[in-house]
Amino acid sequence: NAGVTQTPKFQVLKTGQSMTLQCAQDMNHEYMSWYRQDPGMGLRLIHYSVGAGITDQGEVPNGYNVSRSTTEDFPLRLLSAAPSQTSVYFCAVRAPSYEQYFGPGTRLTVT
């Protein structure tokens, strides 16, 4: 039982490149979210999904796309990376009781 997994753990991109951060869960929960964490800013919600086929924007959605074709997977796409997207990204899965479980994170640097 892996819980929430994220890949890659580290990534360096050049400005303008695109990439997809992967998130997968084996907890069979409907609700999944993507956060970014920056020093002094706390965790900020990028996008979230309440189930397969349903996604919505969070607090800081610009420059990111998501899709949810299955319960298990919730990838986050950076369309054209910018230095402002340098951050640590966490995927999270929320249980019906509102307890939230986080993946190990992806540290992204955009040069």
Partner 1 sequence: EDKVVQSPLSLVVHEGDTVTLNCSYEVTNFRSLLWYKQEKKAPTFLFMLTSSGIEKKSGRLSSILDKKELFSILNITATQTGDSAIYLCAVPGRANSKLTFGKGITLSVRP
Q: Give 13 or 47: the residue with its C-beta nearer to partner 1.
A: 47
Pick 14 or 39: Cβ nearer partner 1: 39
**Helix, strand, coil content of the chain in percent (nearest 5):** 5, 55, 45
On whether the CB atoms of residues 34 and 15 are closer than 8 A, the answer is no
Residue 4 Cβ, how far from partner 1 at the closest point, in Å?
A: 8
C-alpha span between 27 and 15 (Å, rounded): 35
Nearer to partner 1, 17 or 107 (CB): 107
Site residues (vs partner 1, CB under 8 A): 31-33, 35, 40-45, 48-50, 56, 58, 90, 92, 94, 97-105
